[in-house]
Structure 1
Amino acid sequence: MRSSNPVFSRRFRGNNGYAGFNAAPQAGTAAQGGNPYAQPANPYATDPRQGAAQGGPDLQQGYPQAPATTGRMTMDDVVMRTGMTLGTVILAAVAGWALNVPVGIGYGAALVAMLLGLAQSMFLRKPVPAVILAYAAFEGLFLGVVSKAFNHYAQGAPVQAVLGTMLVSVGVLVAYKTRLIRVDRRFVRFVTAAVIGFVLLMMANLLFAVIGGGDGLGLRTGWLGVLVGIAGVLIGAAVLALDFKQVEDGIQYGAPREESWFAAFGLTVSLVWIYIQMLQLIGVLNED
C-alpha cells in the first residue's frame, strides 16, 4: 500500500495493477467483481505452499485462506494515525502563524516537506512514522506562513478554507459510502492524468511568473483563476475518494497494521491539497 496522493506516490500502480491491494474478490460478489482492483491473489494472504505444508487448505485448489486477524490494519489504527499527522500539521501551522515565520522560511519548509513526502512514497519500502510526522511538521509550518499571508489581504480566508475543506471531505465521504463515486480503474486513470496535468500546468505558470514577472500565465487571477481553483479542489476531492478506497481495501483484505501510516499520510496530503486550493480560490474571489 502506498500513499494515495499521486503528487507524491506510486500508489496507482501496485505489483500487478492499479491502486488498491490487488486482493482477490470476496465470494458472493457479482461476477466476482466486488473489488475493482482484483488480481488473482491476495498479497496479504500467506503463501499457499506454506498452508499446504502445515496441513491447511491449499489455495491452488481454490480454498481461500483468510489472513490472521492479529497485526492487521483497523479503522481505529487509521483514525489514530491520521489524528497524529493532522494534529502535527495544525500545531506546526499555529506555531508558524504565531511566531511570524518569514515567508522565505515557510517556502523552504514546503520544499523540505515535499522531499520528505517523495522519500516516503517513492524510496522507502515501509512507512517510517518519523518521516511522515516530519513531513506533517514542515508542511504545517508552510501552511501557517502562507495562511497568515493570505489573511492580510483576504481577512478570514484561512477560516473559510478550513470550513470549505471540511465540507468537501464530508461530501466526498458521503458520496463514496453511497457509491455516488465509484473508484474503479477508469476513475484511477482519469484522476492520475488530471493530477499530472494540473501539476505540470502550475509548474509552467510558476516558470513564466519567474521569467516574466506577474502571475505568469494568469492562472491564479481573474475568472481563469476561479476556474483553476475549482478544478484544483475537485481534483483533490477525487484523490480523497482514492484514499477512502485504499483504507477500505486495506481493512477488508488484511493489510498489515503498519500500513495505517501510509493511509494517514495519504489522507493528510489530500486534505492539505484541498486546503491550499481552497485558500487560493478564496484569495482570487477576494481580489479587488
Structure 2
Amino acid sequence: MALGGNPVFNSKNYREQTRAAGPTGAASTTYAEQNMSPQALQDLYSKPSASGLQMGRLTYNDVINKTALCLGLVVIGAAIGWQLPALMLVGALVGLVLGLVNSFKREPSPILIMLYAGFEGLFLGGISAFFEARYSGIVFQAVLATFSVFAVTLVLYRSGKYRATPKMTKMFMIALIGYGLFSLLNFVLMLTGVVGGEFGMRSGGLGLAIGAFAVLLATYALVLDFTSVSEGVRQGAPAKMAWTAAFGLTVTLIWLYVEILRILAILRGND
C-alpha cells in the first residue's frame, strides 16, 4: 500500500482498476485461443510481451515524460513572468486555485494540470526576477540547489536509505499542518502590518531554521511521490495516473525551489 503521497493512488477508483488489471495484467485464455491451430498458437506466444504503455498501464517513462512536460510549462511561464512581473499575483492566485482543484479531483485532468504548471511559472518568474534584481545570481543558485536536492533524494530513495514509513508519514503530516498554519499566520501578520520585513517572522536565524525544516519536509514529500509512482507501476495502475504523479512532483519541486530561494535571500541579506 502506498504511504501517503498522491491520494488518487489510494482511492477506491484506483484500487478497483488495479484489481481488475491483476498483478501482471495478463488476460485469461479466450475461446478464440482455444480453437487456434498449434502453429497459430505458437506464433501468438512467440510475440514479444506487450509493454506497460501498450497495455494502458502506468510506466516510469510516462511519468518522466509527463513531469518533463509540466516542468517545461513552468519554465515557459517563468520566462513570461520574468519579463512581466506584474503577472506574479495572477499566477499565484490562479495557481493556488488550480492546485486545490487538481488535488481533490477524482480523475486527473491533463489540461488543468498543465494550466497549473503554466500559472505557477508566472508566479515563479515574477518572484525570481524580484530577488535576482536584489541579489545577482541568486536564481541560478536556487535552481541548481533545487535539482541537487532532488537528485540526492532520488539516489537515496533508489538505494533504500531514504524510504517512507507509516510512522514517519504521520509525523510528516502533523509537521506539514503545523508549517502551513505558521505560514498562514505569518502572511496575515505581514498583510496587516503587525510584522514587517520581506519575510515577516521568517527572517534572520528563525527564518533560516524554518526554511531548513521546510526543505526537509519537501524532501520527504518527494519520497512519498517516488513511493506512489513505484507502487502504481508495481500494481498496474492506469496510465492516466502518470498525470497525477507529474502533478505531485511538480508541486513538490516548486515548493522546494521557493524555500531554497527564501533561504538564499536571507543569507544574502545578512552579508
Task: Please say whether Structure 1 and Structure 2 have the same fold, judged by a TM-score greater than 0.5.
Answer: yes
Gaps of 5+ in 1: 23-41, 49-53, 57-67
Conserved in 1, the CA contact under 8 Å of 2:135 and 2:268?
yes
Distance in 1 separating the partners of 2:10 and 2:19: 19
Local SS of the residue matching 2:84? coil
Distance in 2 separating the partners of 1:253 and 1:272: 28
Compute the RMSD of aligned alpha carbons: 2.7
Local SS of the residue matching 1:46? helix
Conserved in 1, the CA contact under 8 Å of 2:21 and 2:236?
no
Amino acid at match of 2:174: A
CA 145–254 in structure 1, closer or farther in 2 if over 3 Å, else same: same
Pairing of 1:162-177 with structure 2 (within 5 A) = 162-177=143-158
The alignment-based identity, stated in percent, is: 35
Alignment pair present for 1:185 and 2:166 = yes
Gaps of 5+ in 2: 23-27, 31-50
Amino acid at match of 1:149: F
Partner in structure 2 of residue 115 of structure 1: 97
Partner in structure 1 of residue 254 of structure 2: 272
Local SS of the residue matching 1:107? helix
Amino acid at match of 2:122: L
Partner in structure 2 of residue 221 of structure 1: 203
Q: 2:68 aligns with which of 69, 83, 86?
A: 83
Amino acid at match of 1:101: P
Distance in 2 separating the partners of 1:191 and 1:199: 12
CA 72–10 in structure 1, closer or farther in 2 if over 3 Å, else same: closer
Q: 1:74 aligns with which of 59, 84, 99?
A: 59
**1:203 positional shift:** 0.6
Amino acid at match of 1:131: L
Partner in structure 2 of residue 258 of structure 1: 240
Amino acid at match of 1:83: A
**1:116 positional shift:** 0.6
**Which structure has the larger Rg over C-alpha atoms?**
2
Q: 1:139 aligns with which of 120, 127, 140?
A: 120
Distance in 1 separating the partners of 2:135 and 2:217: 24
Whose relative contact order is higher, 1 or 2, with alpha carbons under 8 Å and at least 6 apart? 2
Amino acid at match of 2:250: T
Local SS of the residue matching 1:45? helix
Distance in 2 separating the partners of 1:74 and 1:249: 11
**1:100 positional shift:** 2.9
Conserved in 2, the CA contact under 8 Å of 1:71 and 1:256?
yes
Q: 1:101 aligns with which of 64, 67, 85?
A: 85
TM-score with structure 1 length normalisation? 0.77
**1:219 positional shift:** 2.9
Distance in 1 separating the partners of 2:215 and 2:132: 20
Q: Deviations over 1:37-57 (max 9, x none)?
A: xxxxx7502289xxxxx889x
Amino acid at match of 1:113: G
Partner in structure 1 of residue 18 of structure 2: 44
Amino acid at match of 1:204: L
Local SS of the residue matching 2:18? coil
Distance in 2 separating the partners of 1:179 and 1:43: 28
CA 203–12 in structure 1, closer or farther in 2 if over 3 Å, else same: farther
Distance in 2 separating the partners of 1:135 and 1:217: 25
Partner in structure 1 of residue 229 of structure 2: 247
